Amino acid sequence: GDGLLRVLRPGGAPRGRRPQALQALADAQRKVAPDVGSGCAHSFTFKDLLVATGYFNEGNFIGEGGFGKVYKGKISKTNSQMVAVKQLARESVQGRKEFLVEVLMLTVLSHPNLVSLVGFCAQGDERLLVYEYMPFGSLESHLFDVPHGKPPLDWNTRVKIAVGVAEGLSYLHNVADPPIIYRDMKAANILLDEDFSPKLSDFGLAKVGPVGDRTHVSTRVMGTYGYCAPDYVVSGKLTMKSDIYSFGVLLLELITGRRIYDASRPKPEQSLLTWSRPFMHDKRKFHRLADPALRGSYPPSALNQLVVISIMCLQDQPHVRPIMADVAIGLNHVASQPYASLASMGSPAYSGSPQYSRTPSRRRGGGGGSRRVSQYA
């Protein structure tokens, strides 16, 4: 509805006291409720979420992000549904802004490859978001720093994840009205269900895309180092093609098993884009981009196709990059020819007990440390 767009559009956020913003949220929800039916986010009391998380018991702690902590919980009001509860830091002004945006976004958006918002709490100074619980955690925890003895993600699973992420982005760009620019693509924000189907999460930085005769949205540059398109970094002009570039980075990470930036590697290999450039310029060297953990268990033709798609997405000039719908078509074509061999690495990785809440994750950049980084924060 128009009320929702006034809240979401750049420069259109309610000004003044926080209660005004919350009233805008409530008004927007009432406007969109008929369209989203039972999927409309539920408003929880703080006590509801205290009980759900065992009073934020450390045993239910999942991880921590820039704006707060995340806990596993069980909501008795929704048939004992397992959820992830993100409690925003009270002192985080940016976190509060992102809370409002995320609730609005996920209330009106619905797609199999977007994480579902079960509800929220805005009581007093407390701001909490309640998501569906994703048992296999983030793509980051399965793709990088895989514990010894655990099988890596196999080829078919990587392609499946790439397809799902592309489908989710295509929905945001081409189906959502007005279109949505995700703006926070990274492996840590891609959550995996028990079938390794991916879901985009963390919509706090998302923006309504340009409408009418506008070509871009002017905004302060935000996102994760290495994933942001160079044209966006330089100009502050955000477009759907900014997301395309970020997807190209993610796809390259899936192919190589390397982080976009890893300080633990030798200097020439710390930047994934710098290291990969010589191989991407010569088709005869594409195979050198493949994650060594795959041990050659991938179809060379499919690898070549994924590398080409990544190259197209990573073009410096935004107008040369493809649209997300075409990327999804290309990836679906690759997925329609799954890899199988006698030397197959077996079923999707981590087929046993998921290491959702206990697998240490290094800080971005490979600098070490064991603080768990939330998949939702």
Catalytic residue IDs: 184
Between the two ends of the chain, the Cα-to-Cα distance in Å is 28
| Beta strands 198-200; 180-181: pairing state | unpaired
d(CA 151, CA 163): 21
Q: Is 237 annotated as a binding residue?
A: no
d(CA 215, CA 3): 23
DSSP string, 88-146: E-TT-HHHHHHHHHHHHHHHH---TTB--EEEEEEETTEEEEEEE--TT-BHHHHHSSP
Q: Let me know how many helices (H) and strands (E) the chain has, helices first.
A: 11, 12
Extract the runs of DSSP E, i.e. beta strands, from the chain. Answer: 42-43, 61-65, 68-75, 81-88, 117-123, 126-132, 180-181, 190-192, 198-200, 207-208, 217-218, 237-238
- Could you list the residues known to form a binding site for ATP, using ranges: 86
